[in-house]
Structure 1
């Protein structure tokens, strides 16, 4: 355009390099609506009444990003439901199988182990106990 200086090579290259990065926050695999990674428990979290998790079953606590399962012997296990692949919050529990909405990774809610890639690292285990009839989970394990 006449009267307007041409952009420098540096400006063109910088713009080209930054363009893909700017779009990453809007991708369907984005960790959260605002681009931030979902929160993991940083201290003890009261999840609910002890009776909410049946023997041999699991319960997903979406707001806390935690899943709790109860073994046949009555013992509890808890895991963070922040996917280890792309840090997306897992929001779907099918029986005792967690399914990540971002890329389809699947985890066993009883063990935290990966059942289906692309995730290759198990979910982070949390300590869990029952206090005064309430399930309390904490990252202090």
Structure 2
């Protein structure tokens, strides 16, 4: 057996392990927060939520949007496809990077598959400049 053969096998095994390990968490649901936030929990100030966009509060599993000036909506931040946390809000959609699902900032409806259902609405209360869970 040539002297380089064990090294080549080692390198190939390490590369295969790295490839499998690196992909093992892709698309897996992110862990849930330790506890569900209670009603009255302040999420944000109204000035923090951009018109036509939104902000993720992953630790609270909530995304708050402002589809039009002065109209605030809230949805779960857990994608209905495989339970990943959505990753961003841009161009009028709430986006899940795990598999490409997109949801409307207006009503949480699915605008791009593979998500099978809309994001569940969360009840919020806007009082003055404060947005809280209702």
Normalised by the length of structure 2, the TM-score is: 0.68
Q: Which residue of 1 aligns with 2:54?
A: 58
Matches for 1:100-139 after TM superposition, within 5 Å: 100-131=96-127, 133-138=129-134
Q: Which residue of 1 aligns with 2:84?
A: 88
Distance 2:81 2:37 in 1: 20
Q: Structure 1 residue 47: deviation in Å? A: 0.8
| CA displacement, residues 72-131 of structure 1 (integer Å, 9 cap, x when unaligned) | 362221101100110110112213211112111111122100011110100010111123
Distance 1:41 1:132 in 2: 24
Q: 1:59 to 1:27 in 2, by over 3 A?
A: closer
Q: Structure 1 residue 55: deviation in Å? A: 3.5
Contact map agreement 1:65 1:90 (CA 8 A) in 2: no
Q: Which residue of 2 aligns with 1:31?
A: 29
| 3-state SS, counterpart of residue 125 of structure 1 | coil
Gaps of 5+ in 1: 1-25
Which stretches of structure 1, 4 residues or longer, exceed 6 Å deviation after superposition? none
Normalised by the length of structure 1, the TM-score is: 0.65
1:99 aligns with 2:95: yes
- Superposed CA RMSD: 2.4
Contact map agreement 1:58 1:110 (CA 8 A) in 2: no
Distance 2:91 2:112 in 1: 15
Q: Which residue of 1 aligns with 2:38?
A: 43
